Amino acid sequence: MASADTIAAVATAPGRGGIGVVRISGHGLEALARTLLGKPLRPRLASLSNFLEHDGSVIDQGIALYFPAPHSFTGEDVLELQGHGGSAVMQRLLKRCLALGARLAEPGEFTRRAFLNDKLDLAQAESVADLIDAASEEAAKSAVRSLQGEFSLAVHGVVERLIELRMLVEACIDFPDEDVDFLQAADALGKLSHVQAQLNQLLAKAKQGSLLREGVHVVLVGQPNVGKSSLLNQLAGDEVAIVTAIAGTTRDTVREEIEIQGVPFHIIDTAGLRDTACEVEQIGIARTWAAVEKATLVLLLLDSREGITPQDEAILARLPPKLPVVQVFNKIDLLPRKAGIEQDAGVTRIFVSAKSGAGLDLLRQNLLQMGGWEQTGEGAFMARERHLRALEQARASLENAAENWLQLEFFAEELKLAQNALNSITGEFGADDLLGEIFSRFCIGK
């Protein structure tokens, strides 16, 4: 009863625990471990390892444990990676495992495999059943939760158009003797690019999952004396904050990255945005402006005692006009002023002290909220992660379809794969349903 495929999941409870565990179970994990850790592992021996990205960069450092089959929890090869608990790190690590060939475990699947491989005794059987039952119910609930509202509408919109296109393609294949050329009559390629555009839009909108991957781009405006770095350090707090200054190709383009509750924030420092004749600098400045285009909000850092300076005003005037601005008044400890938040006319003012930490929680919440991050349980996030993967699979299949336009059976195959991917979000749409669509739309048959 052995399963051939490898599964992976974050095994620790969601939240901001100090340690997070990604667990992987399957056959022949040695090779996966070697790629991921860059070194071979000895069975059942805790080993301090770097967890490596595909390009060799380090995702995290932690403890790796390898239990070869059958002496493991599931009875298969099991690899446990204990890293730092931030959800962003765990998600990156999980994603890396998926890229290495594992798939996301179904709810209760580790336990199920343990049971099927005789790792649990019969007395535990009923509880395993309960667990699968409960887990699938939980998964279903979270799927329903994340499927409410606009996201769901948008997915269904894409699916409907995809079905429409598939209907034409399949009718063309299965009913060549009809007197209409379904595809030519209906501009199939135009329809495909429409579906693609719609799907891309949807993917762009499906922010929640991609926030963790891509992070929030923030334009930082502020003079050097307002306490920028201490504030950023404070914001990152006790999270696995990696505060690094990544020097760009020129000395004046600086991007800083911090994490707030696992969400990466890319801070684009505008200090370098000034008029210059230096060619090298101009290149750097052009890059910074390009990054500004992607930004979701502006963080304006001020010294409470001074307020907005003319330099700040000049830069603000050049930013895209619709970007929401958060004005952060630092150094309130030097004034008789309490931490707090004021909002009016699209401008948010938050009063903080980087030194005392006052108001920083407010600021964190506000940044997360403005960045589009909604705090929900891990279960709901997993469901969304699944959805995003499905959407991305569908996107890849549609791209293949566009490339294979000239060979109709390949075109049809890719469209079907796209639909299969989306089926995992919207539910089964089988051959019978598709035929039903064809027959209700076209007068077919002799």
The residue within the footprint of other proteins, chosen from 45, 48, 277, 443 (CB under 8 A), is 443
Least distance (Å) from other proteins to the CB of residue 101?
A: 11
Instruction: Determine the Cα–Cα distance for residues 300 and 221; give it in Å rounded to an integer.
Output: 5
In this structure, what DSSP letter does residue 359 have? Answer: T
Provide the token pair at 17: 């625990």
Which residue number, 116 or 323, has a Cβ lying nearer to other proteins? 116
Piece of the chain touching other proteins by CB under 8 A; list 35-43, 62-70, 155-163, 435-443: 435-443
Piece of the chain touching other proteins by CB under 8 A; list 38-46, 195-203, 241-249, 432-440: 432-440
Tell whether residue 238 is a contact of other proteins (CB under 8 A). no
The residue within the footprint of other proteins, chosen from 68, 141, 410, 429 (CB under 8 A), is 410
Total Cβ atoms within 10 A of residue 339? 19
Helix, strand, or coil here: 65? Answer: strand
The residue within the footprint of other proteins, chosen from 170, 252, 269, 312 (CB under 8 A), is 170
**Contacting residues for 284 by C-beta, under 8 A, at least 6 apart:** 248, 249, 250, 251, 252, 253, 272
For other proteins, what does the binding mask look like between residues 123 and 162, x meaning CB under 8 A? --xx-xxx-xx--x--------------------------
Least distance (Å) from other proteins to the CB of residue 404?
A: 9
**Contacting residues for 274 by C-beta, under 8 A, at least 6 apart:** 285
Tell whether residue 435 is a contact of other proteins (CB under 8 A). yes
Provide the token pair at 19: 């340690």
Tell whether residue 427 is a contact of other proteins (CB under 8 A). no
The residue within the footprint of other proteins, chosen from 98, 173, 271, 323 (CB under 8 A), is 173
Least distance (Å) from other proteins to the CB of residue 411?
A: 10
Q: Which of residues 73-112 bind other proteins (CB under 8 A)?
A: 106-108, 112
Which residue number, 93 or 183, has a Cβ lying nearer to other proteins? 183
Least distance (Å) from other proteins to the CB of residue 387?
A: 16
The residue within the footprint of other proteins, chosen from 116, 243, 325, 362 (CB under 8 A), is 116
Piece of the chain touching other proteins by CB under 8 A; list 11-19, 66-74, 167-175, 331-339: 167-175
Least distance (Å) from other proteins to the CB of residue 195?
A: 18
**Contacting residues for 97 by C-beta, under 8 A, at least 6 apart:** 8, 22, 24, 32, 36
* Residue 442: exposure state from Cβ atoms within 10 A (0-12, 13-18, ≥19): middle
Q: Phi then psi for 341, rounded to 5 degrees?
A: -135, 140
For helices 378-403 and 125-146, what crossing angle results, to 10°?
Answer: 70
Tell whether residue 69 is a contact of other proteins (CB under 8 A). no
Can you give the binding site for other proteins, defined by CB under 8 A?
Answer: 1, 3-5, 106-108, 112, 115-116, 122, 125-126, 128-130, 132-133, 136, 170, 173-179, 406-410, 412-413, 431-432, 434-436, 439-440, 442-446
